Structures are given as structure tokens and as C-alpha cells.
Structure 1
Amino acid sequence: MCGRYSVATKKLLKEHRQSARYPGIINDPIYNAAPSQALPVVPNTSPDTTALFSWGLLPAWATSTRTNRPINARADSLTQSPMFRTLIGRKRCLVLADGFYEWKKKDSPQQSLFDLPASAGKNKIIRQPYRFTLLSEDLFSFAGLWDEWVDKSTGEVLKTFTIITTEANELVQEVHDRMPVILTSEAEELWLNNDEPVEALLDLLKPYDAAAMKAYPISPLINSPQNNMPEVLNSL
């Protein structure tokens, strides 16, 4: 699962593959991107621009916004899911990010009253957040799907997206059994290519090379979506 991530990159080199799309779409870094927020994506229908879509897919056929809005889509069941199977061939996007977060559960029984904050209490389970980035800490893209929902009573158009997940690589496995699909620069272009067959697109949805990534424990400040501050990225 991917339930929180960051788009905190402050500056891109001119030669970076996303430099033409990224500038101007975000005025402030996003350290703690959370579901329902408007976040930067590159849709396949407009591959040279970046737009702000709401995280949590609302399908075009939904009768209201109260419909369940999944933030993730499993790569291994895309073609079987009624919500996603028509989107894989028509509505794909790059979800811009520079890191994502996962929480590792660990048992930490309290030995005395003075164990805090190392322990949350007797026999309580602590969830330690970790941040995952590329070794370069550079901007990258998740593979995403998007859709457009129209409110028939007002004509309002709502564009939303979901992030595709796959099995975890060796690094992420230490914390969680799944991870978001991170696309290589070559895979990004194929993912946006409207002529690419679905079978070839599905082959792109694999775990990213663990040797090209790193992870570190971070502050529990990340636990609250309201904490959008650079301190949430600080390692422990």
C-alpha cells in the first residue's frame, strides 16, 4: 500500500526528464501528501503538462462522490477489477514524487513507567515510519490511473487518480509487503504512450530496483496529514 508520500523537491536541473513539466505547478513543497489532496500528475492525454488531480479515484460511472475512492490499485488485478480494467488502456498518468512513507509494526512492551517515548505502553504495538527515496533523492514517478467524474446537477468536473502498487522489493520488504510502482525514465515514456498495448504496459508494473533506493526512519510527525513541514523528513 502507498498511503502517504512527498513532492518536496525544490529545484530540478534543466536536464532532468521532468523539468519541462514540473515548474509552476507547485508553489510550496509537499512533505506529507495525503488522500483527497490535489496533487501533481502528468496525464497521458496531455503528456507535456502537469495538472493537479485529487488523490482517490472516483470513477466516471459513480453516482455520487460518496462512492469508495481507492487510493491504490493492485497491479496483479487491474484487468479483473471493474473499476480499473477500462482505465489501464485509456487513462494513465505519472504521479510525481520524491519519496514515500511506510510504517513498520514492532512489539515494544513497557518495562517500567520511564520507558517512554521508546514504548507506547505495556504490550502496545508501535508503528515506526520510514521514508523511501531514490539514492539520488531526485524526483521520480509512480504509475497511476485517473478518471474524470462530472456532477450532473452542477456540471462540475472532478479529476482523480490512484497509485498502482506491486509486491515489495528487498528493501521495502523490511517494512511492508507491497510498494508503489516506481517507473524508470524509459518506462515513463511508455506509460504515457497512447499506442502502447495493454500487455506491454502491464509488464512495466514491477518492483523498482532495491539497489537504487534507500530508506531511513523518520519522525512520527508524519503520522498526521496536517503536518506538512520539512521536519517530517528528518531522520531519527
Structure 2
Amino acid sequence: MCGRFTQYEPRSHYIEVISPDKEFASGIDDIPLDRYNVAPGTRVLLLNQREDKIFLDPVNWGYQPGWAKESKRPPMINARVETVATSRMFRPLFEHGRALVMADGWYEWKKDPSDTKIKQPYFIYHKSHTPLFFAAISRFHPEAEDAPDDDGFVIITAASDEGLLDIHDRRPLVLDRDQALEWLDGDTLPERALEIAEKESIPPSAFDWHPVTKKVGSIRNNGPELIEPINDPLV
């Protein structure tokens, strides 16, 4: 799964990497975002395309349509790639609300096989330290003065393999530049978007990771010390 990630570079850092040919309609600056512990339930800058322009909008991380709220189901923060295009909850978002989450890396907690109460957080990032673009799906109203309660987004996850499986059995779906732009494009058919998600994401072999402080477990903590490697991991 993906339950915490970082988004600490300036907007310009991510945009320069994805460098869309289409017009970018939102403001771009060189002020660091400084978010080292992005948690569900908070508003996150989301890349999305409307007509031929790329936008950055703050959207709540978590999605709970009205019928799910009535049945007391908690907000979802992730959607599995295996069912994202067919499930009752996510199919409309997949067809009409594809988006990207800019990130530098994400956190996963590795469990001690002999005692699952013991968990060690790890920070996972691209081996080349390039920005990451998580495939996401969303429903939101950018022009509304008051956002509806069911506005939000989820990050798509896939099964882990190779060495990354040792940390966690799920991972966020990370797209490279070309696939990310095609994913955003409203002219991309859902069938093609599913093909990108299922077959063309960046493989686990492209990532590296190291253990970090358990302080990342509290959303009150935020700072570069959270991503620094530690020498005495619990697991």
C-alpha cells in the first residue's frame, strides 16, 4: 500500500522533469513544498489535465462517495490496479478522473515475521533520485468555492516483487514521463490507461530504500530528518 510519502521539492522541480508540451495553467515557483510526511486526510497537490492544459490543484487524499459514507465505510486512500477499472467505487474515477501525484519517495513499514507488532519504517525512492509520479484517480470540483464532501483522490497500487517485496507486498504505481503524460490525457481511452497501469509502470528494480526513524509514524513530525537513514533498524 502507500500510506505516507514525501513532496518536499519546489513545484518547478517536478514540472521541469515531466515538462509537458501542453500549456501549464497553474502557478510554478521555486519555493520548496517541504512536506516530508504527507498523510491521508490532508490536501495534496494533484497534477491533472483539463482540456489541453495541465493544472495543479490541492485535493484531499482519500475518497468516500456518499453511498460508502452511508454504509459507514472509511475513506479509501489506495485502489488496487487489479480492480480499479471495474469496481463500483473506482470505475467512474478511472474513466474520467485520472491524475498524478508528485513525490520524491514513499514510506512502508516492514513487519518482524516473529512479532507483527514490531514494525520498521523504510523510505523508498528512485535509484537516480528523480521525482516520482504516482498514478492516481480523482473526483473533485476545481471551480467550486466549497468542495463537496466526496471530493478526493486515491493512489493506485500494484503487487511488489523482486527485493521490494521484502519491505511490503504492495507499492504505488509509478509512471515515467511518457506514460504519465499519456495517463493524464483525456483522449487516452480507458483500455489504454489500463494497459499502462498493468504493464508499463516503473519496475521495483528501479527503486532503492533504507530504514528511517519511527518518528515518521506521527503526522505531527515533519522535516528532512525523517528520510535520513538510521543504523539500527528493528527489522
TM more than 0.5: yes
- Structure with the higher helix share, 1 or 2: 2
Deviation sequence 1:204-233 (CA, Å, 0-9, x none): 114522332111111111111111111111
Matched residue, 1:191: 183
Query: In 2, are the aligned partners of 1:59 and 1:148 still within 8 Å (CA)?
Result: no
SS at match of 1:235: coil
For 1:12 and 1:192, the matched residues in 2 are separated by 19
Deviation sequence 1:165-193 (CA, Å, 0-9, x none): 11113232011111110011111111111
Is there any run of 5+ residues in structure 1 with no aligned partner, and where? 109-122
Matched residue, 2:7: 7
Residue pairs, 1:16-165, within 5 angstroms:
16-17=17-18, 23-24=28-29, 28-45=33-50, 47-59=53-65, 68-107=74-113, 125-148=117-140, 156-158=146-148, 159-165=151-157
Deviation sequence 1:67-117 (CA, Å, 0-9, x none): 631000011011331111111111110111110010001157xxxxxxxxx
Residue 34 of structure 1 deviates from its aligned partner by: 0.2
Worse overlay, 17-26 or 42-51: 17-26
Matched residue, 1:215: 209
For 1:63 and 1:86, the matched residues in 2 are separated by 17
For 1:126 and 1:74, the matched residues in 2 are separated by 26
Query: In 2, are the aligned partners of 1:145 and 1:164 still within 8 Å (CA)?
Result: yes
Is there any run of 5+ residues in structure 2 with no aligned partner, and where? 231-235
For 1:27 and 1:95, the matched residues in 2 are separated by 16
SS at match of 1:104: strand
2:229 to 193, 211, 235: 235
SS at match of 1:157: coil
TM-score, structure 1 length as denominator?
Answer: 0.81
For 1:67 and 1:13, the matched residues in 2 are separated by 34
Query: Rg bigger for which structure?
Result: 1
CA RMSD of aligned residues (A): 2.9
Q: How many residues align?
A: 218
Worse overlay, 129-138 or 40-49: 40-49
Query: In 1, are the aligned partners of 2:14 and 2:102 still within 8 Å (CA)?
Result: no
For 1:71 and 1:13, the matched residues in 2 are separated by 22
For 1:8 and 1:25, the matched residues in 2 are separated by 11
1:215 alignment partner AA: W
